[in-house]
Structures are given as structure tokens and as C-alpha cells.
Amino acid sequence: MTTHASLSAEAAVLEQLESWAAAVRAQDVDAIVAHYAPDIVAFDAAMKLQFKGVAAYRDHWQTCVEMFPGPMVLELHEVTIHADHQVAFCHALQRCGGTDAKGETQAGWLRLTSGYRRIEGEWKVVHEHFSAPFDMEGDKALLDLAP
């Protein structure tokens, strides 16, 4: 990975975010988790309340990519990044999902917030949070909302 020495902090974090999204679309779990710090804490929208450490989060990503035999969908929208020399955070809306065994795309909208720290010259995600709004009366995620 590049150290991003010649880029602004915001541009370097955006480059990392886009690289992560490409890895998700490629269903490359090793490339996905290469973006995370070893001690990442993640709040994903699916399966568990939290994931602590890159090994636990890797297992989760492996399960996610195996759910879709066809291409993954990951589109980032309304990306905002704030960064200084050592710490950054990002928030965005994302459409994510994949192609199921029937060849049909199953995707919905989530919210993404991620925190980055520059570790040995590389921007790594130290906290990631995906969430979906939900219907409080029906207790169901509202994945069909769109920006």
C-alpha cells in the first residue's frame, strides 16, 4: 500500500475508501481487511453487535462475500471526509448487496461512518459503523430508502 505522503489527508483517506470499496466489489477478503487496523472495532449492520479485532472482522467479511455467488454491489454516495495529519473520519451513504444464486441483485441502502488513524504512514480504519434506519413499529430495517 502507498503511504500517501504527497496527498492531502482527505485525498489519501478518499483513496483508501475507494480502494476498500473496489476490494468489496471484487469479493477479495484479504484486500478488504488490509484496510483495517489490527485492533479495529466494527459495528456492522448484520449478524453481531460488534466485532473486535481484524481476525473477527475478517471472518465476518468472509461470510458476507459467500452470501453472494455473483458480483457484489457497493456504491458510495455523499462521501464527506474530515482529516488532520493523524486522524480522520468519514461518513457516507452506501448501496450494498450482491447478486444471488438466481442472478438477481439484492441491494439496499446503509449509512457508513468510519474512523481512520495514520499508522506507520498508512491510513487504517480503526472504527467502522454500518447502520440502517428501521421502522420502530414494525421492527424492520428500511433498506429500500434512497437518498
Instruction: Give which of 122, 129, 130, 110 is closest to 35, Cα–Cα.
Output: 122
Which position has the higher pLDDT, 120 or 4? 120
Contacts of 71 (CB under 8 A, 6+ apart): 25, 27, 98, 99
Cα 87 versus chain centre, distance = 17
Q: Is residue 117 part of a domain?
A: yes
Q: Is residue 2 part of a domain?
A: no
pLDDT value for 141: 82
- CATH number assigned to the domain comprising residue 52: 3.10.450.50
Q: Is residue 108 part of a domain?
A: yes
Instruction: Give which of 133, 124, 127 is closest to 45, Cα–Cα.
Output: 133
Q: Is residue 1 part of a domain?
A: no
Instruction: Give which of 37, 60, 3, 21 is closest to 115, Cα–Cα.
Output: 37
- At residue 77 the predicted structure's pLDDT band, cuts being 50, 70 and 90, is very high
pTM above threshold 0.75:
yes
Task: Give yes or no for residue 82 having a pLDDT over 60.
Answer: yes
- Domain hosting 125: range is 9-141
Q: Is residue 3 part of a domain?
A: no
Q: Is residue 70 part of a domain?
A: yes
C-alpha to C-alpha distance for 128 and 91, rounded to whole angstroms:
10
pLDDT value for 5: 53
Q: Is residue 102 part of a domain?
A: yes
How many domains is the chain partitioned into structurally?
Answer: 1
Q: Is residue 134 part of a domain?
A: yes
Average pLDDT over residues 53-63: 95
